């Protein structure tokens, strides 16, 4: 049963087109955050609506001489099947005038678990890796975006993590150069009234091929990716659809582009799936 036979039947199914290759952006807000105070190392500050971040001699700014850090966590949406994370951007809102003693925050990825209601300076998780920097150069959203930040999030996905976290410190926590001997800023937490920490992920929008061309059903390579979508792939999906096999399903039915469920399996192969792959094939999407 060839491809052309079933495409005739599909023509009357009133299927909507699926755009391939257009990046899909998803923005999520923090689900946990807290200030960490070296001067009060066992105090939990997770319920505060602001978070202070300082270098070591912060008495003029915060009334103590210890460092202050910020940790922020996000729940991750399911990874779109076959898509690659192009960019990741972390934004945290600053409420101070940053031009008094401007500096740069170091942004570290964190892989260990922590709890907003119990985290303190003394039990803060160790950083996994430095994933970016965030200049405090505006009294609005401060921005960190880097290849390393996106790679860290993909690392979390690869390890089946359901969340990701970032630890922020001043890059020079022992700075002693201005008349007051410190740097200090105030950031808005998720408990604030607005301007919560946010993370924007941009996916490439082009699911990858799952089948090998020229491999018949009895071939061990049948159904293994080769990096191109061709008529042979469409035959693969059409035949699975006709057979009622869920093995080849890659898409959620009725989920439009931009929906978090777009491109995620639901265990069914239907006409919607077939149209999904037909459009990828026509668009030359690998």
Question: Per-residue pLDDT tens for 168-178?
Answer: 998 887 666 55
Q: Three-class SS string for 45-86?
A: CCCCCEEEEECCCCHHHHCCCCCEEEEEEEECCCCCCCCCEE
pLDDT given for residue 147 in this prediction: 87
3-class SS of residue 274? helix
Read off the pTM.
0.66
What is the pLDDT confidence band of residue 85, given thresholds at 50, 70 and 90? confident
Number of Cβ within 10 Å of residue 57's Cβ equals 19
What is the pLDDT confidence band of residue 80, given thresholds at 50, 70 and 90? confident
pLDDT average, residue stretch 191-218: 71
Is residue 72 scored above 90 in pLDDT? Answer: yes
DSSP state of 149: H
DSSP state of 209: P
3-class SS of residue 174? coil
pLDDT given for residue 86 in this prediction: 84
pLDDT given for residue 14 in this prediction: 31
DSSP state of 40: S
User: Domains of the chain, with CATH numbers?
Assistant: 1-21+207-286 (no CATH), 24-203 (2.60.120)
CB 246 within 8 A of CB 257: no
Q: Three-class SS string for 213-241?
A: CCCCCCCCCCCCCCCCCCHHHHHHHHHHH
**237 backbone dihedrals φ, ψ, rounded to 5°:** -75, -40
97-98-102 Cα angle (round to 5): 155
pLDDT given for residue 51 in this prediction: 94
Place of tokens 């192969």: 269
pLDDT average, residue stretch 184-190: 89
Q: Rounded to whole angstroms, how far apart are CA atoms 183 and 174? A: 9
**Among 67, 137, 72, 125, CA closest to 101:** 137
CB 108 within 8 A of CB 166: yes
CB 267 within 8 A of CB 244: no
Strands 198-203 and 104-110 come out as: unpaired
pLDDT tens-place string over residues 222-278? 555 555 556 666 666 677 666 766 555 555 444 555 555 555 555 555 666 666 666
DSSP state of 244: T
pLDDT tens-place string over residues 111-156? 999 999 999 999 999 999 999 999 887 778 899 998 899 999 989 9
**Among 86, 87, 80, 45, CA closest to 62:** 45
**131 backbone dihedrals φ, ψ, rounded to 5°:** -120, -5
pLDDT given for residue 140 in this prediction: 83
Residues 6+ apart with CB under 8 A from 122: 41, 42
Place of tokens 């105030």: 186
pLDDT average, residue stretch 188-195: 91
């Amino acid at each position: 049963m060839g491809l052309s036979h079933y495409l005739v039947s599909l023509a009357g199914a009133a299927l909507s087109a699926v755009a391939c290759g257009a990046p899909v952006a998803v923005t999520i807000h923090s689900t946990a955050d807290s200030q960490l105070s070296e001067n009060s190392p066992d105090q939990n500050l997770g319920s505060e609506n602001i978070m202070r971040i300082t270098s070591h001699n912060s008495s003029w700014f915060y009334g103590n001489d210890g460092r202050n850090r910020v940790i922020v966590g996000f729940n991750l949406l399911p990874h779109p099947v076959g898509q690659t994370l192009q960019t990741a951007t972390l934004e945290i809102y600053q409420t101070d005038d940053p031009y008094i003693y401007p500096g740069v925050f170091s942004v570290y990825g964190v892989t260990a678990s922590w709890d907003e209601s119990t985290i303190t300076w003394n039990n803060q998780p160790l950083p996994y890796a430095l994933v970016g920097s965030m200049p405090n150069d505006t009294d609005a959203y401060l921005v960190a975006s880097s290849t390393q930040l996106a790679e860290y999030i993909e690392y979390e996905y690869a390890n089946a993590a359901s969340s990701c976290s970032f630890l922020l410190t001043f890059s020079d926590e022992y700075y002693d150069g201005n008349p007051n001997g410190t740097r200090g800023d105030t950031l808005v937490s998720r408990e604030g009234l607005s301007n919560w920490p946010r993370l924007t992920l941009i996916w490439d929008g082009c699911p990858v091929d799952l089948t090998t061309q020229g491999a018949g059903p009895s071939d061990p390579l049948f159904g293994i990716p080769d990096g191109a979508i061709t008529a042979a792939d469409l035959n693969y999906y059409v035949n699975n659809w006709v057979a009622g096999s869920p093995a080849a399903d890659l898409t959620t039915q009725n989920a439009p582009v931009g929906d978090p469920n777009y491109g995620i399996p639901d265990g069914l192969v239907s006409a919607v799936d077939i149209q999904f792959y037909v459009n990828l094939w026509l668009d030359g999407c690998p």
